[in-house]
Amino acid sequence: MIRLPVFFLLFVCATLHAASSKPNFVIILADDLGYSDLGCYGSEIATPNLDNLAAGGLRFTQFYNTARCWPTRSVLMTGHYAKQIGMDPQYGKFPAWVRTLPQRLAPLGYRSYHSGKWHVNNAPHVVADGGFTHSYYVAQQDNHFHPKKHELDDKPLPEPEGAWYSSIAIADHAIDFLKEHAQQHAGTPFFTYVAFTAPHFPVQALPEDIAKYKETYTKGWPKTRAARFERQKQLGLVATTLSDPEPQITAPSGKENDLEILGSGETRHAVTWDSLTSEQQQFQATKEAIHAAMIDRLDQEVGRVLAQLKAMNAYEDTLILFLSDNGASAEIMVRGLGHDKAVPMGAAASYLCLGPGGSTVSNTPFRRHKIWVHEGGISTPFIAHWPQVISAKGELRHTPGHVIDIVPTILTLAGGDVSAMPENAPPFPGRSLVPAFAKDETISRDFLFWHHSGNRALREGNWKIVSAADNGNAWELYNLTTDRAESNNLAAKEPERVKAMAERWEKLEKEYVAQAGPKPEPKKKGKGKKAEE
């Protein structure tokens, strides 16, 4: 049974009383956006709409994800660690006790809408399995200018004939769902999930957006990173040193000949900027400009969604949450229709990735990237905005938060009972973030757990153990009070602490695997059936 503090209960009651009716919820999710990629988190990229949300609400400085696309999205929709629900690794089917957020909101009177990426493969049909009222699903993300596969309410749509760009199309459909809701269901609360595919690779953007950043990154990774770090310190976001670049880290990659396909401008390592040729420097600077353009466009489309909320008089009583599924990616690969070196970088026929140098900038001031569970892979921006209830404007919240906290937060505010679970279901591992809406206080929890692609971590208070599969999985220990850069490994000085935390991690791992149940037998390929990916 979850025991709630008296202050928490009083604040929830006051919150619900302040709202004239049940609040609406909007979750805006970016894809592979790093900790420093927004203006309000230290970036030079123009993100005025998200910056305004932050100025009118709250920014969390220690918010966590799971380090990868599908685990984070599964946690976001269920409120449980991916390991508990057979999503990391992917089982292909949820345990019988799993309920998605829309399925939990429906009995409370909510209609739910989805637009964009899904990637919750244990619930492949967004409406039928995910519980959404309506969905526009961009099911293939290898090209931001032309989807080979997209669906409306679980039904395939024809390939678009005219101009199409992912962030614009995702916003268009989210706005259409909101307009329909305002016209036909004005008295009903709603949950809208806007899952952009930007700035995930391939880095592709509209020419007019790229032009804004043509010269921005020619000064090189170190200078951009240092400038972001200075702004972060001025904003009060971090109290740490700047992590050192790690040129020894090899970017995750696809095929062996990808570098040959991409050309001599590409590199799989965050080497020193001065060691690059002028051709390589221009190549890397252009990729960063395209990455920035994608974020700029994402922000513009967020602005259109916000304008629709205002037009339907829902903005004041809507809790808007913005986050990213993981840190920026160091991956280098070529997928989809391949890469044409003859076309302009960032065009539809190009296939480029941000890479380890640009990713190190995006994840400033932290170490590592997407897939790793060092801070660079798992700590990203989190903005909460709700004019009718959150009176604090532009304040920071330093309490650690995690994607596991989103479902308990929303269910609490929707009037649900977070302790009422289906048969055999474990309690939610997360905590409601509602108390932090009122003041900057630490939300009590025993630990936070990570395990992805062999990379492991556990946080207890401000202590964190972390290991990397590519480094023998030896446990490292950091005091995050002053070292979120994870530069000073204290494992040798605190062996007993490491031992106790490692034992807890092992126990949790076994517990969570057991909760997911046995892994189903793989489906046999039948005649005429497409093999599972």
104 domain-assigned: yes
338 domain-assigned: yes
Q: Is the pLDDT of residue 9 over 70?
A: no
Name the H helices within 19-59. Answer: 48-55
Share of the chain above pLDDT 90, in %: 89
pLDDT per residue as tens digits for the range 78-113: 999 999 999 999 988 999 999 999 999 999 999 999
Least confident of 12-26, 88-102, 155-169, 322-336: 12-26
The total number of structural domains that make up the chain? 1
Instruction: Write phi, then psi, for 181 (nearest 5 degrees).
Output: -60, -45
With H, G, I as helix, E, B as strand and everything else as coil, classify residue 479.
strand
Query: Can you give the pLDDT at residue 408?
Result: 99
Alpha carbons 28 and 54: distance in angstroms, whole number: 13
Q: In what order do the strands lie in the sheet with 318-324?
A: 155-156, 150-152, 134-138, 111-116, 190-195, 24-30, 318-324, 382-385, 58-60, 395-397
Q: Is the pLDDT of residue 191 over 60?
A: yes
β-sheet bridge partners, residue 463 = 460, 479
Query: Can you give the pLDDT at residue 530?
Result: 34
351 domain-assigned: yes
Alpha carbons 250 and 469: distance in angstroms, whole number: 13
Give the C-alpha distances (Å, rounded to integers) separating 517 from 72, 123, 161, 424.
20, 16, 45, 11
Query: DSSP per residue over 449-475, as a string?
Result: EEEETTEEEEEETTEEEEE-GGGTT--
Q: Does the N-terminal peptide bond of residue 199 adopt cis geometry, omega within 30 degrees of 0? A: yes
Query: Can you give the pLDDT at residue 254?
Result: 78
2 domain-assigned: no
Contact 41, 232 (CB under 8 A): yes
Q: Is the pLDDT of residue 304 over 60?
A: yes
Alpha carbons 280 and 277: distance in angstroms, whole number: 5
H or E stretch covering 195: strand 190-195
| Domain with 195 in it | 18-437
Contact 144, 31 (CB under 8 A): no
Query: Can you give the pLDDT at residue 14?
Result: 57
Tell me whether residue 348 is exposed, middle or buried, using C-beta atoms within 10 angstroms of its C-beta: 0 to 12, 13 to 18, 19 or more.
middle
463 domain-assigned: no
**Tokens describing residue 358:** 């640009």
With H, G, I as helix, E, B as strand and everything else as coil, classify residue 161.
coil
Q: Which distant-in-sequence residues (6+ apart) come within 8 Å of 105 by Cβ?
A: 112, 191, 410, 411, 414, 416
Q: Residue 123 belongs to a domain with what CATH number?
A: 3.40.720.10
On average, the pLDDT of the chain sits at 94
pLDDT per residue as tens digits for the range 402-423: 999 999 999 999 999 999 999 9
Give the C-alpha distances (Å, rounded to integers) separating 47 from 53, 299, 310, 463.
10, 5, 19, 33
Query: Can you give the pLDDT at residue 250?
Result: 85
Contact 372, 455 (CB under 8 A): yes
Alpha carbons 397 and 385: distance in angstroms, whole number: 13
Alpha carbons 469 and 24: distance in angstroms, whole number: 41
Banded model confidence at residue 528, pLDDT cuts 50, 70, 90: very low
Give the C-alpha distances (Å, rounded to integers) separating 103 from 24, 132, 263, 434.
16, 8, 48, 21
The CA radius of gyration of the chain, in Å to the nearest whole number, is 22
With H, G, I as helix, E, B as strand and everything else as coil, classify residue 39.
helix
Banded model confidence at residue 12, pLDDT cuts 50, 70, 90: low
**How far does CA 282 lie from the centroid of its chain?**
29
* Number of Cβ atoms within 10 Å of the Cβ of 338: 11
Give the C-alpha distances (Å, rounded to integers) separating 385 from 50, 54, 281.
10, 7, 39
Query: Can you give the pLDDT at residue 11?
Result: 56
471 domain-assigned: no
Banded model confidence at residue 519, pLDDT cuts 50, 70, 90: confident
400 domain-assigned: yes
Q: Is the pLDDT of residue 3 over 50?
A: no
